[in-house]
Homo-oligomer: A and B are copies of this chain.
């Protein structure tokens, strides 16, 4: 799924939005499994408008660029649903964290500790954020599923790191006395 389709999905789910708002929606709701930057969103919306998949209404503002509020057309909705059905539901993960851990024996002990701490924090934060969203308001079964799925996987990673970190750091530096 490219930025164009993601924008259509955001408009379908959140209703009429500006490019700026779509980015916010992304960060709040999709950030753990999709990304999109302004430089990808704005041109995408422009192209979608040309293709008739969205319409745009301009709201004038003083002292700020006019707001361009996009609206999903019926053709846009159909295009999005079709794109969902055509998708092979693939996933791609690139993890430099795992790569670094793979080569742990090549790393400075402090770098090793640093990336483990950082990963632990990151996973804990994700779990908290997703749990917060989960408990904050009602969701469709699909949204609920994705939230719980994200929580389950991130929690598993978090528990794993918490269980293994200390032991691992000691194994890598058996001579070190400082905790």
| Cβ-closest chain B residue relative to A87 | B96
Minimum-distance CB pairs A-B, first 9: A104-B142, A156-B156, A33-B95, A33-B98, A89-B97, A91-B95, A152-B160, A89-B115, A93-B93
20 contacts between A and B (CB under 8 A): A1-B96, A1-B99, A30-B102, A33-B98, A33-B99, A80-B106, A81-B106, A84-B107, A85-B108, A87-B96, A89-B115, A89-B119, A91-B96, A92-B93, A92-B94, A101-B142, A104-B142, A145-B168, A149-B160, A156-B156
Question: A118 in the interface, Cβ–Cβ < 8 Å?
Answer: yes
Digitize A118-144: 1 where CB-to-B-CB distance is under 8 Å, 0 elsewhere. 110000000000000000000011110
Out of B13, B92, B140, B153, which one reaches A153, CB within 8 Å?
Answer: B153
In the assembled complex, the Cα of A160 lies from the Cα of B145 at a distance in Å of 9
How many residues of A are counted as interface, with CB atoms below 8 angstroms from the partner's CB atoms? 61
Contact between A156 and B146 (Cβ–Cβ < 8 Å)?
no
Given contacts A153-B153, A160-B152, A160-B153, A89 and B96 within 8 Å (CB-CB): yes
